[in-house]
A and B are shown apart, each in its own frame.
Chain A
């Protein structure tokens, strides 16, 4: 087993009386794309800055290629960082920007020139080295920022939400481009973002972070379909949330009575829940099947009848908000794009159906 490129052991960072990073442990194998996903203020930037060396951890250890980095200044670490606003040097042209790191290492002038040209060609921008920074478009600057780091052949490349400032179309495009650049350079990428779709599309592994802790580390598929905690279920992807109480647990199926009075049948989670416990149930909008006529009664599935409150048209991601006929709870459901529901409008009655294994339930902390 190879040593992972990056390894964090019980990393802690305290600011005065505030703990920004709380006992975080993870490792990132060589050549993989690792994302840290979390809402703003969850400590992900602090974590990244500790890896880069701009902040020292209060406790714990941080290893790159098996070597401890605690106490090593940022200019001596084998990591490079792509900053949120890229931080290209406006007083230098593109070639000098990309060559900056090599100049610091004392590489000869002609070699710097060759290597800068090579790396610019690899990111798809040959021959731009004479241009000024403000002559490039947003996407080009992005690639220059990556080239400026990659020319140093770092062990780990850190990316601090670099797509945040781009417009939607370009962001979608850069997601694919970043992923292919990562494959091209075969370098370990650690990417932080609050945008779940960026993390889901690009990553080999995602860590979901909240209040300084890692809630879950897993593949994008895992994080989406098997969220380990209620926070992950709510943060990654859309979800309907119900609160209720377990009234019966048998044969791996829980019966939950929601606060609205509806009965739900959900699969018992791995950590187990017992009768009488208060729970929260998360259900993905796309897990609910819609039909215009009442489906055949199926005791193993959940079904109901709802009245359309509103239709949120958003192309392929259109949703419909229903009010459940029995409980009065609202339910968002993805609108199937088969054409069957084209004419759906407010006040229509539809039938919903979802199976017990589609929902995830978690114990509700007692208030």
Chain B
């Protein structure tokens, strides 16, 4: 009897998780996959086949956008890591007590407003009549207004800004657990700043680096708002392409195929990243 009760309790506790997984992840993806392998041959007439996937590979615009999105996301991830690592190191190792909490909060505060508002903030700074352009004109450094928006650099700035917190948090956590005496021992044995960073700090922080990179890469790859708003109409981000297939062209079949290709891409990049850094997913996410 007792074990029956325990079993019931277990199933009740796991039910929300199972419902979530099945209803919101498994079923939609299954539906999406079925849609993606149906080809429209006439009005309400469909055939099963991989024609939608073939369409992607036959149209250079599609797969070039796809590759561009992947490369830009990898670049954004690398930039976020390069910018986030010193910040995280400073917070975790060089500050204590209240300063530490304050600095951490300062990183966190921008994330209390929606991504949309934050992106508009960047538009106010970067647009032709924006703060940067006005300042440069006022200082007499340029003759006319400059448009900083609607180029790849603006997209990159936005992507790094929106995702840097997700790099800093795991990095601070792993760097916090690095014993100061390990760094001191490194110096004591004749190491210099660079060799200690390479041989002691980075190997220790590797799980944090990898989990931060995975999250930032996924966020950048799946970002829709930032590339559209900061990159303008011609930004060519793959999520934008999926959106236009679904909403503008009502071509759900091709849109679904795109969705699946994006899923495959992110999985592949994460897999390669884990292999290259010799980390395992359970190890990096388990922290």
Instruction: Write the residues of chain A forming the contact surface with B, with a CB cutoff of 8 angstroms.
Output: 52-54, 73-76, 79-81, 83-85, 87, 89-92, 100-101, 103-105, 148-149, 152
Considering only residues 181-195 of chain B, those with a C-beta below 8 Å from chain A are 181-182, 184-192, 195
Residue pair A85, B188 in contact (C-beta under 8 Å): no
Cα distance A103–B192 in the bound complex, in angstroms? 11
Most B CB contacts (10 A, CB to CB) among A52, A54, A89 go to A89
> Which residues of B sit under 8 angstroms from A103, Cβ to Cβ?
195, 199
> Which residues of A sit under 8 angstroms from B187, Cβ to Cβ?
53-54, 73-75
Cα distance A80–B186 in the bound complex, in angstroms? 10
A to B CB contacts below 8 Å, 9 in the list: A54-B184, A75-B192, A81-B188, A84-B181, A85-B181, A91-B200, A91-B204, A104-B189, A152-B190
Residue pair B192, A89 in contact (C-beta under 8 Å): no
> Which residues of A sit under 8 angstroms from B147, Cβ to Cβ?
none
B179 at the interface (CB under 8 A from A): yes
Given contacts A100-B199, A104-B195, contact A89 B188 (CB under 8 A): no
Interface string of B194-206 (1 = CB under 8 A from A): 0100011001101
Cα distance A149–B188 in the bound complex, in angstroms? 9
CB-nearest residue of chain A relative to B185? A87
CB distance from A54 to the nearest CB of B (A): 6
Residue pair B191, A104 in contact (C-beta under 8 Å): yes
> Which residues of A sit under 8 angstroms from B200, Cβ to Cβ?
89, 91
Cα distance A76–B187 in the bound complex, in angstroms? 9
CB distance from A72 to the nearest CB of B (A): 12
Residue pair B188, A74 in contact (C-beta under 8 Å): yes
Residue pair B181, A83 in contact (C-beta under 8 Å): yes
> Which residues of B sit under 8 angstroms from A100, Cβ to Cβ?
186, 189, 191, 199
Residue pair B190, A85 in contact (C-beta under 8 Å): no
> Which residues of A sit under 8 angstroms from B204, Cβ to Cβ?
90-91
Residue pair A152, B184 in contact (C-beta under 8 Å): no
CB distance from A73 to the nearest CB of B (A): 7
Residue pair A75, B182 in contact (C-beta under 8 Å): no
> Which residues of A sit under 8 angstroms from B192, Cβ to Cβ?
75, 104
Residue pair B184, A83 in contact (C-beta under 8 Å): yes
Cα distance A17–B79 in the bound complex, in angstroms? 44
Residue pair B179, A81 in contact (C-beta under 8 Å): no
Cα distance A52–B184 in the bound complex, in angstroms? 10
CB distance from B202 to the nearest CB of A (A): 9
> Which residues of A sit under 8 angstroms from B199, Cβ to Cβ?
89, 92, 100, 103
CB distance from B197 to the nearest CB of A (A): 13
Residue pair A104, B185 in contact (C-beta under 8 Å): no
Contact pick for A81, options B182, B185, B195, CB 8 Å: B185
Residue pair B190, A87 in contact (C-beta under 8 Å): no
> Considering the complex of A and B, which 3 residue pairs feature the smallest CB-CB distances, nearest first?
A101-B189, A91-B203, A87-B185
Contact pick for A80, options B181, B188, B206, CB 8 Å: B188
Most A CB contacts (10 A, CB to CB) among B186, B188, B190 go to B188
CB distance from A152 to the nearest CB of B (A): 7
CB distance from B208 to the nearest CB of A (A): 13
CB-nearest residue of chain A relative to B192? A75
Residue pair B191, A87 in contact (C-beta under 8 Å): no
Residue pair B203, A101 in contact (C-beta under 8 Å): no
Contact pick for B188, options A75, A84, A90, A91, CB 8 Å: A75
> Which residues of B sit under 8 angstroms from A81, Cβ to Cβ?
184-185, 188
Residue pair B184, A87 in contact (C-beta under 8 Å): yes
CB distance from B277 to the nearest CB of A (A): 13
Cα distance A92–B185 in the bound complex, in angstroms? 14
Residue pair A80, B184 in contact (C-beta under 8 Å): no
> Which residues of B sit under 8 angstroms from A54, Cβ to Cβ?
184, 187
Contact pick for B179, options A53, A76, A80, A87, CB 8 Å: A87
Residue pair B188, A52 in contact (C-beta under 8 Å): yes
Cα distance A91–B192 in the bound complex, in angstroms? 18
Residue pair A75, B181 in contact (C-beta under 8 Å): no
CB-nearest residue of chain B relative to A78? B190
Cα distance A83–B189 in the bound complex, in angstroms? 12
Residue pair A85, B203 in contact (C-beta under 8 Å): no
Residue pair A148, B189 in contact (C-beta under 8 Å): yes
